[in-house]
Amino acid sequence: MESAAHLRPGTQIAAYRVAEKLREGGMALLYQVAASDGGEAGLLKVPKLEFGSHPACYAGFEVEQMILARVAGPHVPRLLASGESDCGPYLVMEEIAGTSLAEFAAAAPLPAAEVARLGAALASALHDLHRQEVVHHDLKPSHVILRADGRAVLIDFGLAFHGHLPDLAEAESEKPLGTPAYISPEQIAGVRGDPRSDVFSLGVVLYLLATGRLPFGAPTGMGGLRRRLYFDPLPPRRVVADLPEWLQEIILHCLEVRADDRYATAAQLAHDLRHPDQVTLTQRGRRRQRAGPLVVAKRWLAALSAEPPPRKAPTAHLALAPQVLVAIDTGRGSEPLFQALRDATRRIVGGERDWRVSCVSVLEPSALTEQEDGAEIMRGLHMQRLMELHHWAQPLGLARERLRFHVLEGRDVPARLIDYARASHADHIIIGARGSSGRRRLLGSVSSRVASEAPCTVTVVRVSHSTDASTESADP
C-alpha cells in the first residue's frame, strides 16, 4: 500500500491516474490526474493522514468533500469523484483554468476600477455560495481563481459552514477558524455561519488590492487577533492618496466591526462595486483618521458583554436582505398601474430589515434614435426615463440608500430585464401586466416572458379591469 504523501505518477486511484504532484499544503496534497477512460482530467486531493499529522487535516478534507457534493454553479469547482482508495480517502475535482487572485494581489496597489472589477466578481461568487447555504469562512486571495471570462471561482472549503450539515470544522478546534489576516471579528469570537463574515474578509481583500497592505497585518497571537474588535484600520485613502472616496466608503463598510453595520449581503456589495456612481457617500468615505479612543473604549466594553447571537442558517440571514427589482414601463404604463406597483413593492419589502429596491426601466431604440444624431436623442430620453423612475419612487417615501435607479437599453425588453436580475442577484421581480393591448398581441407579453424565464420569484401586478380599460385604449 502506498501512502498518500508519496503518490507516484502512474498510481491508479479509482478511475484516475496520477500525473504529477502540484502542491503540498499543511493539510493536504494536490495532484494532477487524468481519467483512465479518457474523460475529464482533474485535481486529486488527499488529506495528510500520516503519523503526527493534526486530526484537523482529515476534518478539513471531510468538510470540503461534504460541501463540494452539495454546491453547484460557475463559482465553485465541480466534484468529479470521491471515496476511499487503497491509499486512503480522496476527492477529485474540476481543475479551474484561470489566474489566482494572489497574483493580482502581488501586483497591488491596483487602480480603483480594477479593484472594483475583481471585487464585484468575488462578491457575486460569494453571494452565489451563500444562497446555497454555505459560508466560506477562509476567504483570501489564494482561495480565489479568476476565470478568463472574469468570473471568480472559490476554492478550498476546508473551514466552510453549511447550514444543513454538521459543523465538523468547528468540532475539531477550540481556536478561531480562519486565516488571521482575513478573519472577521465575530469569527474570532467563535460565531459561525454568518455570510457577513465573508463580507468582512472580502473587505480585507479589497483593502489589500487597493493599497498593497493588509488592514490588520498578520497577527500571530490571540491578543493581536482581538485588536480588530476595537480598532479600525487606517483609512485606505491615507495609504493611497488618490483612491476615490466611493472605494474607501465600500471598503470600510465591509470592515465594520459589528456585522449589522456591514453590507447585509455580498449581492449589495457587488452592486455598489459595479455602480460606483450610486454609492451613498457617508463620513466613512471621507474619513482621514481611525476612530478615536472613546469609540475604541465603547467597542471594548461592547465586546466584553457581547452575547453570541442565536445561530441562523446562512440563507436565513439573506432572507432579511432581499434584493427587489421593480420593472416600471414609465413610457407606457398608467397611473393606476404605477400605484399598484408601489403597493406591491411596499407589501413585499414590508417586514424585512435590509432590503434594497432597484427601479428599472428599459428604453427601446426607435427610428428616431437610429438616425444620425440618434445618440444625442437617446441620451436625452435616458435622462427623461431616469427622472420618471425617481418620480415613480418618490411616493414610496423610502430611504435614499435603499433605492437604486437604472435605465437599460435594448429591443428585447424581457431579456434585458432578466439579464439585469441575474447580474444584480435579484430575489424578487415586480412587474406590471398591461392587459390585452394590441401591442401585446403583436409582440407577446413582456411580463409573462419575464415570469417564465426569470431566475427568481416574479410578481405580476395587474389593476382591476374596469380602471384599466380606459388606459388600455390609449395604448398604441
Partner 1 sequence: MRIAVLADIHANLEALRTCLAHAEREGATQYVFLGDLVGYGADPVACLGLLADHADRGALLVRGNHDDAALGGLCETMNFVAREATYWTRAQLGSGERAFLAALPYTARRGDLLFVHADVNAPAKWEYIASSLQAGRCMDAGQARLTFAGHVHHPSLYFAAGSGVHHFQPVAGAPISLSGRRRWLAIGGSVGQPRDGNNAAAYALYDEEQRMLKYFRLPYDHLSAARKILAAGLPERLALRLQKGE
Active-site residues, by number, are 138
- Non-local (6+) Cβ contacts of 339 within 8 A are none
Q: What is the largest CA-CA distance in the chain?
A: 83
The CB-side HSE value for 284 (13 A sphere, CA atoms) comes to 19
CB atoms within 10 A of CB 414: 22
C-alpha cell at position 273? 462595486
**Nearest approach, Cβ of residue 57 and partner 1 (Å):** 11
| Residue 58 vs 207, nearer CB to partner 1 | 58
| Residue 68 vs 269, nearer CB to partner 1 | 68
**Nearest approach, Cβ of residue 189 and partner 1 (Å):** 17
**Nearest approach, Cβ of residue 215 and partner 1 (Å):** 31
| Residue 69 vs 469, nearer CB to partner 1 | 69
- Listed in sequence order, the DSSP H helices in 231-356 are 236-239, 245-254, 266-274, 283-286, 293-305, 314-318, 335-349
**Nearest approach, Cβ of residue 171 and partner 1 (Å):** 4
**Nearest approach, Cβ of residue 62 and partner 1 (Å):** 5
| Residue 80 vs 118, nearer CB to partner 1 | 80
By CB under 8 A, name the binding residues for partner 1.
55-56, 58-59, 62, 65-66, 69-70, 84, 89, 163-168, 171-174
| Residue 171 vs 222, nearer CB to partner 1 | 171
**Residue keyed to cell 497574483:** 103
Measured between alpha carbons, how far is 144 from 121 in angstroms, rounded to an integer? Answer: 10
**Nearest approach, Cβ of residue 321 and partner 1 (Å):** 22
Measured between alpha carbons, how far is 66 from 466 in angstroms, rounded to an integer? Answer: 56
Measured between alpha carbons, how far is 358 from 349 in angstroms, rounded to an integer? Answer: 12
* Burial tier of 195 (Cβ tally within 10 Å: 0-12, 13-18, 19+): buried
Find, among 240, 236, 233, 199, the residue nearest to 217 by Cα: 233
| Residue 133 vs 249, nearer CB to partner 1 | 133
| Residue 165 vs 291, nearer CB to partner 1 | 165
- Listed in sequence order, the DSSP H helices in 255-292 are 266-274, 283-286
Which residues are 47's β-sheet partners? 28
109 cis-preceded (ω within 30 degrees of 0)? yes
**Nearest approach, Cβ of residue 165 and partner 1 (Å):** 6
| Residue 79 vs 120, nearer CB to partner 1 | 79
**Phi, psi angles (nearest 5°) of residue 264:** -70, -30
Measured between alpha carbons, how far is 40 from 119 in angstroms, rounded to an integer? Answer: 30
End-to-end CA distance of the chain: 79
Measured between alpha carbons, how far is 139 from 376 in angstroms, rounded to an integer? Answer: 45
| Residue 132 vs 447, nearer CB to partner 1 | 132
Edge to edge, the sheet with strand 356-363 lists 403-409, 356-363, 323-327, 428-432, 457-461
**Nearest approach, Cβ of residue 134 and partner 1 (Å):** 13
**Nearest approach, Cβ of residue 168 and partner 1 (Å):** 7
Write the DSSP assignment of 138-151 as a string of letters.
---GGGEEE-TTS-
Residue 279 contacts residue 213 (beta carbons within 8 Å): no
- Non-local (6+) Cβ contacts of 208 within 8 A are 105, 108, 141, 214, 215
